[in-house]
């Protein structure tokens, strides 16, 4: 006879659920809802950080590109100035000693012709 007795929390022979179980279920659903909201918030925060990080990297890349371009232009100007100075110096030496310049040019031409025949 004791085997057929119902316990207060069992669902054997009772059509409804225990009120405590319903409250626990509602509490669990509420916690799951908050957890979903927290996860959605974290997802938005990660997306925002990634977007800002990409923007920072893009800005740094553009700044580096501009810096490299400026340095390249500066080196080009320096090379042009050095070539211009060299040309001016050569012109002055040729004017100062034209016979020597012609002989040097002829010697270089002769060596060039002998080397690359």
Hey, where are the domains in the chain? 22-90
Q: Is residue 18 a contact partner of residue 9, using CB atoms and an 8 Å limit?
A: yes
Reading the block at residue 89, the tokens are 């110096």
What pLDDT is stored for residue 105 in this prediction? Answer: 92
Which residues of the chain have a pLDDT value below 50? 1-14
Reading the block at residue 54, the tokens are 């990409």
* pTM for the whole structure: 0.45
User: What is each CA distance from 30 to 39, 41, 52, 102, 114, in whole angstroms?
Assistant: 14, 17, 33, 99, 95
What pLDDT is stored for residue 99 in this prediction? Answer: 93
What pLDDT is stored for residue 56 in this prediction? Answer: 84
């Amino acid at each position: 006879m004791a085997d057929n007795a119902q316990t207060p929390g069992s669902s054997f022979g009772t059509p409804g659920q225990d009120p405590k179980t319903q409250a626990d279920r509602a509490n669990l659903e509420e916690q799951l809802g908050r957890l979903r909201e927290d996860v959605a918030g974290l997802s938005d925060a990660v997306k925002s950080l990634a977007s800002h990080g990409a923007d920072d990297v893009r800005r740094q890349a553009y700044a580096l590109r501009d810096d490299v371009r400026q340095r390249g232009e500066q080196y080009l100007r320096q090379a042009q100035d050095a070539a211009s100075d060299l040309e001016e110096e050569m012109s002055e030496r040729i004017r100062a000693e034209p016979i020597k310049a012609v002989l040097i040019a002829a010697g270089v031409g002769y060596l060039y012709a002998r080397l690359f025949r």
